[in-house]
Chains A and B, each alone.
Chain A
Amino acid sequence: MYSAATTERGATTERGSATLVIGLGNPILGDDGVGWRVVDALEDRLTGDDAMRRAAGVVELDRVAVGGLSLMERLIGYDRVVLVDAILGGDMPGTVSVGSLAETACRLAGHLDSAHDVSLVEALSAGRALGAHLPDDITVVTVAARCVDIFGEQLSPEVGAALDTAVDDILAVLGRPTARPA
Chain B
Amino acid sequence: MTRLTIDPITRLEGHGKIEIFLDDKGDVEHTYFQVPELRGFESFCVGRPVEEMPTLTNRICGVCPEAHHLAAAKAADAVYGVDPPRPAKLLRELLYSAFFVTDHTTHFYALGGPDVLLGPDTPVADRNILGVIRKVGLDFGSRVIETRRGGHRVIELIGGRRIHPCTSVPGGLTRGITADERTEIEAIARSMLDFAGASLDVFDGVMTDGPTRDLVLGDLFRHETYYAGMVDDAGRVALYDGRVSVVAPDGESLGTYAPADYRDWIAEHVEPWTYLTFPYLRRIGWKGFVDGKDSGVYCVGPLGRLNAATGMATPQAQEAYERFFATLAPASNGHRQPVHQRGAHHWARLIEMLYAAERMLELVADPDITSDDVRTVPTGTPSEGVGTVEAPRGTLTHHYWTDERGIVTRVNLIVGTTNNHAPIAMSIDRAARGLIRAGVVVDNGLLDRIEMAFRAYDPCFGCATHTLPGHMPLEVTIRDVRGETVGVLRRDD
Q: Which A residues are within 8 Å of any B CB, using their own CB?
A: 8-12, 25-29, 32, 64-70, 73, 88-89, 109-111, 113-119, 122-123, 125-127, 129-132, 148-152
Contact = CB atoms under 8 A, between A and B. Distances in A.
Contacts of A149: 13, 36, 38-39, 467
B229 interface: no
A25 B13 CA distance: 12
Given A65-B62, A126-B133, A114 B163 contact: no
Nearest to A89: B11
A125 to B, nearest CB: 6
A28 B133 CA distance: 36
A167 B62 CA distance: 25
A9 B162 CA distance: 7
Contacts of A126: 110, 129-130, 133, 141
A30 to B, nearest CB: 9
Q: Is the interface of A mostly helix, strand, loop or mixed?
A: loop
Nearest to B149: A73
Given A118-B111, A150-B39, A8 B59 contact: no
B156 A29 contact: no
A114 B13 contact: no
A26 B11 contact: no
Interface string B35-68: 0101111011000000000001001001100000
Nearest to B160: A9
A126 B145 CA distance: 10
Contacts of A129: 130, 133, 138, 141
Contact of B162 (A10, A68, A110, A114): A10
Contact of B467 (A9, A29, A119, A125): A29
B120 interface: no
Interface string B155-190: 010000111100000000000000000000000000
A117 B59 CA distance: 17
Interface of B: 11-16, 36, 38-41, 43-44, 56, 59, 62-63, 106, 110-111, 128-130, 133, 138, 141-142, 145, 148-149, 152-153, 156, 161-164, 459-462, 466-472, 493
A62 to B, nearest CB: 11
Nearest to A27: B59
Contact of B62 (A9, A70, A125, A131): A70
A116 B44 contact: no
Given A8-B161, A11-B162, A129-B141, A69 B62 contact: no
B39 A117 contact: no
Given A73-B149, A110-B13, A151 B471 contact: no
19 contacts: A11-B153, A25-B468, A27-B59, A68-B110, A70-B62, A73-B152, A89-B11, A110-B13, A110-B470, A114-B469, A115-B461, A115-B472, A117-B110, A122-B129, A122-B130, A130-B145, A131-B142, A149-B13, A151-B44
Contacts of B41: 151
Given A116-B63, A150-B38, A70 B163 contact: yes
B10 to A, nearest CB: 8
Contacts of B11: 88-89
A117 B145 contact: no
Given A29-B467, A116-B462, A130-B145, 15 more contacts: A9-B156, A9-B161, A11-B156, A27-B59, A28-B44, A32-B13, A65-B59, A65-B163, A73-B152, A110-B13, A116-B459, A132-B145, A150-B40, A151-B466, A152-B44
Contact of B14 (A12, A68, A114, A125): A114
Contact of A28 (B59, B138, B162): B59
A43 to B, nearest CB: 19
Contacts of B16: 115
A125 B11 CA distance: 26
Contacts of A125: 130
A130 B13 contact: no
B111 A117 contact: yes
B138 A110 contact: no
B12 to A, nearest CB: 5
Contacts of B138: 129-131
B40 A127 contact: no
A130 B152 CA distance: 19
Contacts of A11: 152-153, 156, 162
